[in-house]
Amino acid sequence: MLTLTMTPHLSVPSTHFDFKTLTLDSTLSALFLYDAEIEDTHPVIEVAGLFDNYPILPGIILKHQGKFVGMVSRRRFLERMSRPYARELFLQRPIQSLYGFIQTELAIVPIDTCIVKAAQLSLKRPHELLYEPLVVEMGEEAYCLVDVHQLLVAQSQIHKLTSRLLDQSNYAQQVQTEKMVSLGRMVAGVAHEIRNPINSVSGNIDFLINYFNGLVQLLDCYNQELGEKSEQIKELEEEIDLEFVLEDMPRLLKSMQLGSQRLTQIVNSLRNFARMDDRKKQVMDIHECIDGTLLILDNRLKQGIRVLKDYDQIPLLECYSGQLSQVFMNLLANAIDVLMEKKEKEADKDWEPQIQIVTRLVNSVQGERRVSVKIIDNGLGISEENQTKLFQTFFTTKPLGKGTGFGLPISYQIVTEKHQGELKFKSQEGVGTEFEVILPIPASAPHPDLKGNN
């Protein structure tokens, strides 16, 4: 029995197929599939009639007692039948007698195969089989055909879509980079404006401490010279609580001094972080870069997150300090986010959110010295499905408005392209995540024994 059926979702001619509905992940099920089959015991004339009645049919599935045995393509059938005396020899004979002459190696692919992958498979075939239709396996003993021309057109459409998305991604990334550069310039300007009064306060505190110590000495001298104090002086001392003032003032001045020093450190960290448009690499201490980033994030770390630092002796590096600060900012901020999320969900009261920062000197396979910076958290971890998408632009697991999907892709670009390094990660869901930044050390850098950074 000869059947020619079309699946319901493919009821339109292939020449009018709407390729605009395709996506990057579209499979063969999205294309117009030809469902035509015949038993190999039927005469060849039935196949010829089928090809005559359906000019766009690329081929016919061949079966023997309901079992798949092969495929008769239009091209090879017409080529064989156009030879002298072929029609007289084969038209009334069973198809199996002809199939021995026209059968070729078949390309059989599952229905859920991506269009791009199927097209690549088709193009890898020998040139004489290049335009043979692909056999699509629908299920157990169920097969259809896909026309190669339609397949390649679909691949071309997906390629255009990919190019368009890449253009959009590159544009969005440029916009984000420009925003970060603008933000960096603004922060640098604010940091510069803050730095001047902070320097003034910090410098004057030293004078103030000296002035206070001098006044205390003068007061002691007055007390020794005057001897018995008048009632007016006693009342004034009691009113201003002189004893407490003399005891508390040194602590107050020391607190102001430490505060101004911390403000100076924060401003310097902001200035380093703000160098987003570095024109050339600068020599820097990687530990100062990390510590500066931690200082900026100090307010978030105070939410109960413990930071453990294990620093090795590392030589100075040539880096774009602002961009590298952004990498550490992204990695540390992500770690804080997942730790706070786990803290909200965690039922175990003994669990403590923790970030471990480890720096080491390592050697590459070629023996080149490199610096490894590991940022390890004991948060939620990353699922295997999301790990494959981690460095994709726009991908984020954060709620709308909290994540842009740019942090890790930009960090990867900064480390790999700007610094010729590596950005790796490993994660176990429910246990935690480790990111590793590996940076090359210039040959001219001094040996770490000459400079300690602990």
Q: What CATH number does residue 52 fall under?
A: 3.10.580.10
Using CA atoms, how far apart are residues 300 and 375, in angstroms rounded to an integer? 16
| Model pLDDT, residue 325 | 83
Residues ≥6 apart with Cβ < 8 Å to 56:
13, 14, 15, 147
**Cβ-contact 164, 25 below 8 angstroms:** no
154 close to 115: Cβ distance less than 8 angstroms: yes
Decide: helix, strand or coil at residue 431.
coil
Give the percent of the chain with pLDDT over 90.
Answer: 12
Q: What is the CATH number of the domain that holds 435?
A: 3.30.565.10
Residues 329 and 375 in one domain: yes
Looking at residue 318, the DSSP 8-state letter turns out to be E
Q: Are 372 and 438 in contact (CB under 8 A)?
A: yes
Work out how many domains the chain is built from and give that number: 3
The strand order across the sheet containing 354-363 reads: 306-310, 354-363, 369-377, 432-440, 422-428
Average confidence score pLDDT of the chain: 79
Secondary structure (3-state) at 276? coil
The rounded distance, in Å, linking the Cα atoms of 320 and 43 is 76
Contact (Cβ atoms closer than 8 angstroms) between residue 43 and residue 93: yes
Range of the domain at 314: 278-454
195 and 120 within one domain = no
Residue 9's pLDDT is what? Answer: 29
Could you tell me if 318 and 244 lie in one domain?
A: no
Of 79, 47, 44, give the one whose Cα is nearest residue 60. Answer: 47
Give SS3 for 306.
strand
In a shared domain, residues 310 and 444: yes
All residues at 6 or more sequence positions from 321 whose CB lies less than 8 Å from its CB, including other chains: 272, 275, 278, 282, 284, 289
- Give the number of C-alpha atoms closer than 13 A to the C-alpha of residue 134, restricted to the C-beta side: 31
Residues 260 and 231 in one domain: yes
- Dist CA 439 CA 415 (whole Å): 8
At 423 the pLDDT is: 92
| Residue 186: CA count within 13 A, CB half-sphere | 6
Last residue of a domain, one of 276, 308, 325: 276
The pLDDT assigned to 355 comes to: 94
Q: What is the pLDDT of residues 365-399, one digit of tens each?
A: 777 889 999 999 998 888 887 777 776 655 565 55
Average pLDDT (10-31) is 64
Mean pLDDT over 50-69 rounds to 88
User: Cα–Cα distances in Å, from 343 out to 300, 305, 333, 336, 430?
Assistant: 13, 10, 15, 10, 12
pLDDT tens profile 171-214: 666 665 566 556 656 666 676 677 778 777 877 888 888 888 88
343 and 435 co-located in one domain: yes
The answer to whether 61 touches 135, Cβ cutoff 8 Å, is: yes
The CA-based diameter of the chain, rounded to the nearest angstrom, is: 143
Mean pLDDT for 338-362 is 85
Q: What is the pLDDT of residues 74-128, one digit of tens each?
A: 988 988 888 888 888 888 889 988 888 888 888 899 998 988 888 888 888 888 8
Residue 439 in any domain: the answer is yes
Q: What is the pTM of this model?
A: 0.47
Domain presence at residue 153? no
Question: Is there a single domain that holds both residue 35 and residue 117?
Answer: yes
Q: Dig out the tokens for 223 from the structure.
A: 């007390």
Question: CA 423, CA 414: separation in Å to the nearest integer?
Answer: 9
Q: Does one domain contain both 340 and 441?
A: yes
Q: Is 343 helix (H, G, I), strand (E, B) or coil?
A: helix
Same domain? For 335 and 357 the reply is yes
Q: Residue length, the chain?
A: 454
Query: Given 276, 297, 315, which residue is the final one in a domain?
Result: 276
Q: Domain check: are 230 and 196 in the same one?
A: yes
Q: What is the pLDDT of residue 360?
A: 93
